[in-house]
Amino acid sequence: MSRERIVTGEPINGEEESLQVSLRPDCLRDYVGQNELRGKLEVALQAASGRGEAMEHTLFYGPPGLGKTTLAHIIAKEMGATIFATSGPALQRTGDLMGILTNLSDRDILFIDEIHRLSPIIEEFLYPAMEDFKVDFVVDKGAFAKVINVPLKQFTLVGATTRAGMLSAPLRDRFGLFYHIDFYPPEDLREIILRSSKLLETEISSEAAKVISHRSRGTPRIANRLLRRVRDYTEVKGNGKVGEQMAKVALDTEGIDAIGLDNLDRKLLKVIIEYYQGGPVGIEALGATLNEEVDTLVDMVEPYLLKIGFVQRTKRGRMASSKAAQHLGLHLPGNAAQENLF
């Protein structure tokens, strides 16, 4: 079943993605949150700049909407380099990648989003480019085939993935720097919301920003999306200034509760608790019961529920926690509660 979820970390459409770009920080100094990652990245950038070299190939991994693409653009800005952005599914032929690689200058950034979705042929073509800054390009076929060795400038490959486990070992081993981006705490999201509100020329109280931050599922993209929804609601129903109560009413109207759960999250938890007595239940059975794609549940619904301890993955299937039942005002069956070790 296809539906628009405003609490997904994925971009909803191209228009929203363009707006997100306008809200991105340009430099590491303005990047909010992920302090440990930011400190390590700052050292790597300064060291590479000091030597006048390209930075090591870098991999960012973590849930969608947390700032992997933003960090890639910041690296390019800090290095004074140009960034060429593409994605794993977009690179179908070696010729596509060859055209990009030969146009890169020293210290330029090649950013590949969804890098876990690269085809094996493209991956193998990348190996010598990443290691030795050269590629072997085959011209013609059969008896007339020739291999041309093409040297490349020293560039930095920045990869982003939501599924680091799906990267092949040879590709993963060629990255020198690995950074995991985790969900943001509410206090960092509050700073992001206040910063974005200034860029959007929206007047918002600190208390309203706090309300939005607690309902943003630890994800900056969702925080900015909810801020815009609250702004629109306030312009129509209020006086244009976003206050605490107006933020609560606006988000309640959108079906987003106090901790960021939407209707699909609540339906999933209710099915586990009421229909399957708290679990365990297989993800395929949940998908069939909810009439949802399994990939939707695994990639877009489960990560946050796992993060806040409302769902547990076990060998026998998914289980709901007593915390989830309490939040929904439901009763968790006794035997499920005994197995539940939250």
Domains of the chain from N-terminus onward: 34-180 (3.40.50.300), 186-253 (1.10.8.60), 263-339 (1.10.10.10)
Q: Tokens at residue 43, please? A: 């050292």
Say which amino acid occupies 51. R
307 counts as catalytic:
no
Residue 96, Cα to own-chain centre: how many angstroms?
Answer: 25
Say how many Å lie between the first and final Cα of the chain, rounded: 31
96 counts as catalytic:
no
Are residues 70 and 31 in contact, defined by beta-carbon separation less than 8 angstroms? yes
162 counts as catalytic:
yes
- Distance CA(6)–CA(27), nearest Å, equals 27
- Distance CA(41)–CA(60), nearest Å, equals 11
113 counts as catalytic:
yes
CB within 8 A of 187, min separation 6: which ones?
213
Q: Which position has the token pair 């060291």?
A: 47
SS3 content of the chain, % helix, strand, coil (to 5): 50, 15, 35
List 107, 174, 215, 221, catalytic entry: 221
User: Which of the 8 DSSP states describes residue 288?
Assistant: H
Q: Tens-of-pLDDT digits for all 342 residues of the chain?
A: 345 688 888 877 767 777 778 888 989 999 999 999 999 999 999 999 999 999 999 999 998 899 999 999 999 999 999 999 999 999 988 888 988 999 999 999 999 999 999 999 999 999 999 999 998 877 767 666 777 788 999 999 999 998 888 899 999 999 999 999 999 999 999 999 999 999 999 999 999 999 999 999 999 999 999 999 999 999 998 887 899 999 999 999 999 999 999 999 999 999 999 999 998 999 999 999 999 999 889 888 898 999 999 999 999 999 999 999 999 999 887 655 445 544
- Distance CA(180)–CA(202), nearest Å, equals 32
69 counts as catalytic:
yes
List 8, 24, 58, 68, catalytic entry: 68
What backbone torsions phi and psi does residue 202 show, to the nearest 5 degrees?
A: -115, 125
